[in-house]
Amino acid sequence: MNGLRFASLSVFFPAYNDAPSLPELIAKTFAVLRERVEDYEVIVINDGSWDDTAKVLEELRAQYAPHLRVITHETNRGYGGALRSGFAAARKEYVFYTDGDGQYDVSELPLLLERMTPSTGLVNGYKLERHDPLHRVWIGKVYNFCARLLFRIRIRDIDCDFRLISRPLLEKIHLTSTSGTICVELVRKLEISGCGTAEVGVHHYPRMHGRSQFFRIRSLMRTFVELLRLWVRVVVLK
């Protein structure tokens, strides 16, 4: 886009116990949108948080009204459930999402906007370097390798939740996952739709607050079981 303003964009963040990171994240988001987007909205999915996320979001909603909306899940629906709520709530022509924990810099959103074209359905970030503990880095590599192999996915970093997607294309696919496997399902269904894709390197930062829900033994086992079930549904039985 080379400095030109983007026409219409929904931005959303799934949030689970992310109260400390949300004020800076939302402030950066609106700074980018005011400069680069004509028509925009910001949505935060509070996925059953038990910290001060609800209180923080109420204060932010008052500050950034009417452009900020909050959708609250009374109980935690999982990462997939939060993403599905965000996609369903988006109203603009394009949809961008990233996580509410602040490990990606929303100031790099213009890098994705510049790569979006009328023939592109997905612009996906990839981590230039992952700033997590070493065991998480290796688990992420194994997960990404297995998912790309099983689902024949072309993009290099399925685990990078820094994505810009055409909303009309989103409306043509049906997502069923409630866990982190939704990222595999999403990318697989977008790629087989035949849409054009582009990839952009983005920075990844250490998690400053809270702890990841993904990197727990029970969560990892459940995710890999769900990944195999998803593979049966969308690859084997298709």
User: Could you read off the pLDDT of 73-121 as tens digits, one per residue?
Assistant: 999 999 999 999 999 999 999 999 999 999 999 999 999 999 999 999 9
pLDDT tens digit sequence for 202-211: 999 987 665 5
- pLDDT-above-70 percentage for the chain: 93
pLDDT of residue 2: 47
Place of tokens 């688990």: 139
**Smallest Cα–Cα separation from 99: which of 180, 155, 41, 31?**
180
What is the reported pTM? Answer: 0.91
DSSP E strand stretches across 128-170 = 162-166
Q: How distant, in Å, are the alpha carbons of 41, 178, 190 from that of 181?
A: 26, 8, 14
Report pLDDT digits (tens) over 141-184.
888 998 999 999 999 999 999 999 999 999 999 999 988 899 99
Residue among 70, 17, 20 nearest 41 (CA):
70
Residue 146 structure tokens: 């297995």
Q: Which fold has domain 6-236?
A: Spore Coat Polysaccharide Biosynthesis Protein SpsA; Chain A (3.90.550)
C-alpha to C-alpha distance for 98 and 106, rounded to whole angstroms: 8
